[in-house]
Amino acid sequence: MTSPSGVRIVDSADVSPEAAIGQGSSIWHLAQVREEAVIGRNCIIGRGAYIGTGVVLGDNCKVQNHALVYEPARLADGVFIGPAVVLTNDTYPRAINPDGSLKSAHDWEPVGVTIEQGASIGARAVCVAPVTIGAWATVAAGSVVVKDVPAYALVAGVPARRIGWVGAAGVPLEQEAPGQRWVCPQTGTRYIEIDGTLSEETA
């Protein structure tokens, strides 16, 4: 079904009437979007994906099939979430309390994953909250992120560690000798690294 605003929600999707869906966004088969979730314009929510209560997505985000985005995650514009990615929300998960009683929503406080503009999370990666993924960073498929990821960083492994830098195009950067300058082989954009932080070089 496509609304007058260009929002497309297929019949098998479960979208709360209390969720806000931006113009031009699509929600595909068997996806679930919970109460008070906010999805920006031109987003794609893939088959079987889960968007938790109050989760916020910016514009032009892609959440691929079977990804789990638990509240209170916050995604900026242009974020890519690969297939079967999990953004967790419980630092010390337990089904029961120490007395054996079943935990309720009042027995724990969810913590979220924050993903900044243009960042990409590869297939089956897990981001263990609370962590922040910096702008334009890339988390390699299958990684487990347990600490913050700097902007433009390429991280991989369990636990994830930085193995390089990527530019806004997503392509690994090449180091220019001498010093800490890097260049994107696709766009020619240059970056400078200072104390483990990368930024785009200005004229």
pLDDT tens across 129-150, in order?
Answer: 999 999 999 999 999 999 999 9
pLDDT of residue 157: 98
Domains, the chain, with CATH or none: 8-166 (2.160.10.10)
pLDDT of residue 68: 98
- Read off the pTM: 0.94
Per-residue pLDDT of 45-84, as tens digits, reads 999 999 999 999 999 999 999 999 999 999 999 999 999 9
Query: What is the C-alpha to C-alpha distance for residues 185 and 1, in angstroms, rounded to an integer?
Result: 42
Among candidate residues 51, 56, 57, 66, the one labeled active-site is 66
Residue 29 is among the residues annotated as catalytic for this protein: no
Q: Are 70 and 84 in contact (CB under 8 A)?
A: no
